Chains A and B, each alone.
Chain A
Amino acid sequence: MKRFIGFIKKEFYHIFRDKRSLFILFGMPVAQILLFGFAITNEINNVDIAVLDYARDTESQKIIQKIKASPYFHVENEIFNEKAIENEFKKGKVKAVVLFEKDFAKKLQTEKKATVQVITDATEPNVANTIANYTQSIIQNYQNQKNTTPKSNGVVIQSRMLYNPELKSVFNFVPGVMTVILMLVSAMMTSISITREKELGTMEILLVSPLKPFQVILGKVFPYIFLSVINAIVIVAMGYFIFGMPINGSIVLLAFESILFIITALSLGILISTISNTQQTAMMISLMGLMLPVIILSGFIFPIASMPLPMQVISNIIPAKWFIIIVKSIMLKGVGLEYILKETLILVGMTLLFIGLSIKNYKIRLE
């Protein structure tokens, strides 16, 4: 045990003396959270739009008032014919034009049907989509208010956004960033720190020492379990206190699942280190083989449901996908273990697989 503690002490010296790894460990989580929280967001706020109102009646004016009153839009100017629309877009400031057809109110009354066109600048598809959705919901809202009279018999579609009523993207990125960071810290840092010993030649001495191989490996990963847990706490705390992300489920369960994922990532890191001989290879494999799939295929940034089928299938082997589901379920839905049992078991299975492969690959000799 004394040997083991001595080993861990040494690992901490390494970590705290290397400014680069310190930055990755503690700078990155904070930087990423802030970056995703403030800069990269799917929400829209105060988007400039223009209005083309051929009707100029009470109904259309009321809707325009509604739009103006919402925090999402700012009516930049009013235009008077369709030719001006393109001109507005070319100027670049206006992202959408809301167009009311002639005799809007009259048609609404007599034919029970009138058209509002929302023309968006789709050079930024996500923004365009969101704008269209938001305008739609404003108009629908208006309609709903009007139709409160019991006479109404038209079917009214009511959509409610559950768990994230304000469609805040922070609720998506906190689990995402947490996953990416834990993967980075656990898998990449451990694989690099093990291969560094190989490169330095110190692995030779460790192998020739009475330390058992599993003690060497355990000694290498233990500090990173500790640091990863700290990171997870920092990220959840930032999400909670700065961005108001709720934690509806059990914190204990969340902690348990996080530790499980950390162990999954660590075992992946060990596996990488058994197949690479230099820090550079370990880094490349971790970055290309882990980080990119985690970011692209885990559902963190691109929704899995909208991926082509082969990708959806591949996404199943990404541990991060399951962890993101787990975190979201616990934090937003507040579910208990019984609802995320499948995901948890998948992670457990993956971990066992990685550890098994590592043991198979681990050499007590140099060859």
Chain B
Amino acid sequence: MSISIQNISKKYKNVQALQNITFEVQEGELFGLIGPDGAGKTTLFRLLTTLLVPNEGNATVADYNILKHIKEIRNSVGYMPGKFSLYQDLTIAENLTFFATIFGTTIEENYDLIEDIYVQIEPFKNRRAGALSGGMKQKLALCCALIHKPKVLFLDEPTTGVDPVSRKEFWEMLKRLKQKGITILVSTPYMDEASLCDRIALIQKGKILKIDSPDAIVEAYEKTIYEVATNQMHNLILDLKEFPSQYSVFAFGEFMHYIDKNDSFDMDVLRTFLHDKGHQNISIQKATATIEDVFMDL
């Protein structure tokens, strides 16, 4: 077991940041912590990297106890905190060299691990980190966290504020790292990234709502979702909310995701209802649920 968490709770002055968290991450698994800001993701990372002490519970990381083996854990994990903690006034090469040195290694020694990430930023290696775009900072921060060949990699919201292209590239890198046997615990507020993990934990307000593989979570979702579109999407939300048996209405890209209270829901009744409200080009069809649908219904 690479990470094992048992009944961990953490309280700040008057905020319960984490409540009774228990889960395990297998060796070589890409595990996602999915939840919005303030869900307690960062607190969990800090507990696992020994930066904080839990009020209750215990955990092991790479078979080391987070309360007893602080030094060993710090030697065997790579940590990328929320805001790309780089030295803005050092260049790419200097940042990387620095992190290699303090971990007692060199860039050359573990170059194979970072190679395919580093080559993408190498052309700019003499540029200072402060002058890099979000995507490049993210890659550099990942290189820095990897340079000492950690067994477990903790990535706290590595893709926040990064554009979709860079995000996609980033996830591809994570997959390759996983193949090299590194256990990865990653958090993200983007629900669409959940499907890229082996298993995920949905977390909100310090509690774990669900843990499973993304597919299993979606499959286990029982409610039927209908995607609705008309020529007046803005009014559609308001009108759908007035439909007597509505359970929930959420905008979902080009469609509205509509869930009805009754199993005996008839699409035609809704179609007529919308037509009477003045909608045209009405399309209603069953949709497959996504992690985001599940999350919103928890």
Direct contact of A and B (CB under 8 A): yes
Task: Point out residues on A near B: beta carbons under 8 Å.
Answer: 2-3, 5-7, 9-10, 13-14, 17-18, 200-202, 204-211, 364-367
A7/B102 in contact, CB under 8 A? yes
Q: A7-B98, A202-B86, A205-B81 are in contact. List 7 more A-B contacts (CB 8 A).
A: A10-B98, A200-B85, A201-B83, A205-B145, A209-B102, A210-B102, A364-B70
What chain A residues lie within 8 Å of B94 (beta carbons)? Answer: 10, 13
**A70 to B144 alpha-carbon distance, docked (Å):** 72
What chain B residues lie within 8 Å of A13 (beta carbons)? Answer: 87, 89-90, 94
Q: List 8 A-B contacts (CB under 8 A).
A: A3-B104, A6-B97, A10-B94, A10-B98, A13-B94, A204-B81, A209-B102, A210-B102
Closest to A2 in B: B101
Selected contact of A10 from candidates B50, B88, B90, B103, CB within 8 Å: B90
What chain B residues lie within 8 Å of A5 (beta carbons)? Answer: 101
Which B residues from 65 to 93 make CB contacts under 8 A with A? 70-71, 74-75, 77, 79, 81-83, 85-90
If A204-B51, A207-B51, A210-B103 touch, does A10 touch B46 (CB 8 Å cutoff)? no
A208/B85 in contact, CB under 8 A? no
B81/A18 in contact, CB under 8 A? no
B53/A367 in contact, CB under 8 A? yes
A366/B88 in contact, CB under 8 A? no
Task: Point out residues on B near A: beta carbons under 8 Å.
Answer: 46, 49-53, 70-71, 74-75, 77, 79, 81-83, 85-90, 94, 97-99, 101-104, 144-145
Give the distance to chain B from A9, nearest Cβ to Cβ, in Å.
8
B51/A365 in contact, CB under 8 A? yes
Closest to B75 in A: A210
Give the distance to chain A from B79, nearest Cβ to Cβ, in Å.
5
A365/B103 in contact, CB under 8 A? no
B79/A365 in contact, CB under 8 A? no
B49/A208 in contact, CB under 8 A? yes
Of B51, B104, B144, which is in contact with the most chain A CB atoms at under 10 Å from its CB? Answer: B51
If A209-B102, A366-B51 touch, does A204 touch B79 (CB 8 Å cutoff)? yes
A10/B51 in contact, CB under 8 A? no
A202/B90 in contact, CB under 8 A? no
B74/A209 in contact, CB under 8 A? yes
Give the distance to chain B from A293, nearest Cβ to Cβ, in Å.
32
B81/A201 in contact, CB under 8 A? yes
What chain A residues lie within 8 Å of B82 (beta carbons)? Answer: 201
B97/A208 in contact, CB under 8 A? no
Give the distance to chain B from A211, nearest Cβ to Cβ, in Å.
5
B74/A208 in contact, CB under 8 A? yes
**A306 to B144 alpha-carbon distance, docked (Å):** 59
**A111 to B101 alpha-carbon distance, docked (Å):** 89
Closest to B150 in A: A208
A202/B51 in contact, CB under 8 A? no
What chain A residues lie within 8 Å of B70 (beta carbons)? Answer: 364
B87/A202 in contact, CB under 8 A? yes
Closest to B70 in A: A364
